[in-house]
Amino acid sequence: MSPAYRAPFVKSYGGVFSHAADLFIALIPALMWSVYIFGARVITICVISVAFTFLLDYPVRRWIVRAPRADLIDPFNAVYGILSAFMLPVSVPLWAPAVSALLTVFAKNLAYPGGRRIFNPYIFPAAVMNIVFGEMMSTFTRPLAYFNPFSFVLDEKLVAAYRVISPLQQSADGSVYENGVVPRFIGYASGHIGEVAVAATLLGAVWLFVRKRGDIKATFAFLAVIFALAYLFPSDDAETSYYAFSLLFTGAIALIAVFALNDGYSLPLTGTGRLICAIVCGVCVFLGRKFGGDTEWGYYAVLAVNALSPVLEKITRPRPFGSSGKARKK
């Protein structure tokens, strides 16, 4: 992370460690639930992702980015490694988290002059992996179907025997997940490793808000926009509130609301700017879910608002009273 650009509440390098530790603590409930639902293979995937994120990030920062020596070991790598692993199905071969880590490091060090990142470092790999490895990334297995944590590639017949359709895939034709809203909120559903842990992710959000590491207005606005639009324009074969809650607890919405929309390195530092990003992101997610099939449009919505962030921050930056915003001529 460039010393010239820091997220809100990060005042020093020691503050960086504190901030990363708070994010890591917020991830623990979702990680524990994911291990319960998908087994010990989740730990293997997360360890590979974190390890490769650290190993690949060091040489990039040391010899390409030329980061100051104090910044060579970035504690956020542990957080980014886990979050990028959360975007993978448990059935992926063990080379997948290494590739995801490579993309994470690329996005993490792809920045504007001054240090602002162009793209979120764990949403970017999820978007790329879904485009390049579509079949692998859309192969989901039922909850509590545990696999060998150390098998480099799982047997195709074994995966096929436990393969199921995820709630997001089922919603592609306008239908809703038949097992109900409550199981999905708790996290008893198929999907990517960390995306199913909705309740656990929201529990982690409480820690972030208490520690003042998150913007509750942006998180709430994102969720509220999706719920309101789904309630007003429901699927033809679903009751309005059921459809709205079903959409809210499907896919990566909880992870995006809690983590991606509170990332101060790829979103505006101004509260108004983050609020605009959250609203735009929510509208894009709903439209994508409504008309775009089973693709996780939340990834692309986040990347879009990342690209808009420099402009939004400039527009929403507070100006001194009486200032016209233009430099005075001497």
Q: What is the DSSP string of 101-142?
A: HHHHHHHHT-B-TTS-BSS-TTHHHHHHHHHHTHHHHT-EE-
7 vs 15, 44, 90, 286, CA distance in Å? 10, 30, 32, 28
What is the average pLDDT across 120-146? 96
Domains of the chain listed by start with CATH number: 13-316 (1.10.3430)
Query: What confidence category does residue 91 fall into, taking pLDDT thresholds of 50, 70 and 90?
Result: very high
Gap between the Cα atoms of 147 and 168, Å rounded = 23
Mean predicted lDDT score pLDDT of the chain: 88
**Residue 180 gets which letter from DSSP?**
-
Query: What confidence category does residue 238 fall into, taking pLDDT thresholds of 50, 70 and 90?
Result: low
Question: Which range has the worst mean pLDDT, 90-94, 175-179, 243-247?
Answer: 175-179
- Run of H or E including 164: strand 163-164
Does position 11 have pLDDT exceeding 50, yes or no? no
Gap between the Cα atoms of 268 and 261, Å rounded = 10
What is the average pLDDT across 45-66? 93
Gap between the Cα atoms of 178 and 276, Å rounded = 34
Identity of the amino acid at 40? A
What is the average pLDDT across 111-117? 85
Contacts of 94 (CB under 8 A, 6+ apart): 44, 45, 48, 151, 152, 153
Does position 4 have pLDDT exceeding 50, yes or no? no
Query: What confidence category does residue 177 fall into, taking pLDDT thresholds of 50, 70 and 90?
Result: low
Gap between the Cα atoms of 278 and 247, Å rounded = 16
Buried b (16+ CB within 10 A) or exposed e, 115-125: ebbebbbbbbb
Q: Cβ(269)–Cβ(5) under 8 Å? A: no
pLDDT score, position 178: 62
Work out the percent of the chain whose per-residue pLDDT is above 90: 68
Please tell me which of 1-15, 53-67, 163-177, 232-246 the model is most confident about, judged by mean pLDDT: 53-67
pLDDT digits (tens, 9 = 90+) for 212-227: 998 999 999 999 999 9
**Residue 262 gets which letter from DSSP?**
G
What is the average pLDDT across 308-314? 92
Helices vs strands, H then E, count in the chain: 15, 2
pTM of this structure: 0.90
